[in-house]
Amino acid sequence: MLDYLIDNFGRRITYIRFSVTPRCNFNCVYCNSHTGETDKDEEFSTKDIEFLFSVMPEVGVKKVRLTGGEPLLRYDILDIVKALKKDKIQEIVLTTNGFYLSSVAEALREAGLTRVNVSLDTLNRDTFVHVTGVDALDIVNSGIKEAIKYGLTPVKINTVLMRGINEKDILPIAELTLNSDITVRFIELMPVKDNNFWKMHYINFRTALALIKKKYELIKSTGGSGEVASYYRIKGAPGKIGFITPISQHFCKYCNRIRITAKGEIYPCLFSKEYISIRDAVKDRNKDLLVSLIRKSVDIKPKEHGVISLSSQDFINNMRELGG
């Protein structure tokens, strides 16, 4: 019988976001809280990951998101997907900056990946370079096309809303849903430690919604189960437009996830300063200890994160380690 992970507020945890590496080949303005090199040898090996996720179905985990850093920098990413498949994880998804996607999309599908989310904040080449530090808009667009071609669908595009940087892109990115069954999700900018960017560039999702509504009739739609975005369709369009609103309307009440870092720390919330280390339990292949530590991490899951305001102290400690 399944012995579910249920926290102190009655929320059932069925979803793990696993940052397979904090390393990244981009340097996005809103994400970078990372200082110095990370030690690749500290990251869990493929075998560690297979052991870690072998216990998940029996505690009711159904979905795993591979994130980072940039997950496609892991040379063993296909083996990781295969290991999760072997561990009987029902839904395996991956969030990527798209740089390496075109070369690996087919193999990811064959390995058992369900679908991908690709981060794309702009359709303008100069803005892309400004945001990511890399001149790779065309490469990322090809990655998105390959992902669609090989059925890693519905492909979801993640666009972080930034005042003064990509407002002009909101409408063209929303219009990507007009001719194709993709989902575009506008995400409110979140504050990251030592990155004052948030204070200058945060925009409430309503600004983006109003901009799209000015030109198009929007019909309310739905996402998948456990979805934290609210969804719409432009009337007659095949794709969907979602809004993820961690700041203006946090969705903590419905939170069904915990986060695991590449070296084996479980963070019960993106804004947690507290974590539980499962590193030794995984390295020692100690299943009972591992399950009890996972339960402990669920027990310390906070009811909600605090109100985020210009004067508040809530921020994300290290986006790349936590996986967004």
- Chain positions contacting ligand SAM, by CB under 6 A: 24, 30-31, 67-68, 70, 95-97, 119, 158, 160, 187, 189-190, 192, 319-320, 323-324
Of the candidates 116, 256, 320, 322, which one interacts with ligand SF4 according to CB under 6 A?
320
Could you tell me the smallest distance in angstroms from the CB atom of residue 103 to ligand SAM? 16
- Alpha helices (runs of H) in the chain, residue ranges in sequence order: 46-54, 77-86, 101-111, 125-132, 137-149, 170-174, 197-201, 205-215, 279-283, 287-299, 319-322
Nearest alpha-carbon partner for 98 in 130, 64, 134? 134
Contact partner at residue 27 from ligand SAM, ligand SF4, none, CB < 5 to 8 Å by partner kind? ligand SF4
| CA–CA gap between residue 178 and residue 148 (Å, rounded) | 15
Q: Which two tokens stand for residue 180?
A: 């194709």
- Using CB under 6 A as the binding rule, whether residue 243 contacts ligand SF4 is answered as no
Interactions with ligand SF4, residue window 78-137 (CB under 6 A): 97, 119
Q: Are 66 and 324 in contact (CB under 8 A)?
A: no
- Using CB under 6 A as the binding rule, whether residue 191 contacts ligand SF4 is answered as no
If the CB atoms of residues 69 and 242 are measured against ligand SF4, the closer one turns out to be 69
Of the candidates 4, 9, 12, 27, which one interacts with ligand SF4 according to CB under 6 A?
27
Contact partner at residue 242 from ligand SAM, ligand SF4, none, CB < 5 to 8 Å by partner kind? none
- Using CB under 6 A as the binding rule, whether residue 229 contacts ligand SF4 is answered as no
Could you tell me the smallest distance in angstroms from the CB atom of residue 142 to ligand SF4? 17
- Give every CB contact of residue 87 below 8 A, 6+ residues apart in sequence: 50, 53, 54, 56, 57
- Using CB under 6 A as the binding rule, whether residue 159 contacts ligand SF4 is answered as no
Q: Which two tokens stand for residue 293?
A: 């530590």
Contact partner at residue 297 from ligand SF4, ligand SAM, none, CB < 5 to 8 Å by partner kind? none
* Chain residue whose CB lies nearest ligand SAM: 324
Phi-psi region of 218 (alpha: psi -120 to 50; beta: other; left: phi over 0): beta
- Using CB under 6 A as the binding rule, whether residue 71 contacts ligand SF4 is answered as no
Q: How many CB atoms lie within 10 A of CB 49?
A: 26
Could you tell me the smallest distance in angstroms from the CB atom of residue 62 to ligand SF4? 25
At what angle are helices 137-149 and 125-132 packed, to 10 degrees?
100
- Using CB under 6 A as the binding rule, whether residue 322 contacts ligand SF4 is answered as no
Residue entry with tokens 């989902």: 183
Residues of this chain that interact with ligand SF4 (CB under 6 A) are 24, 26-28, 31-32, 68-70, 97, 119, 319-320
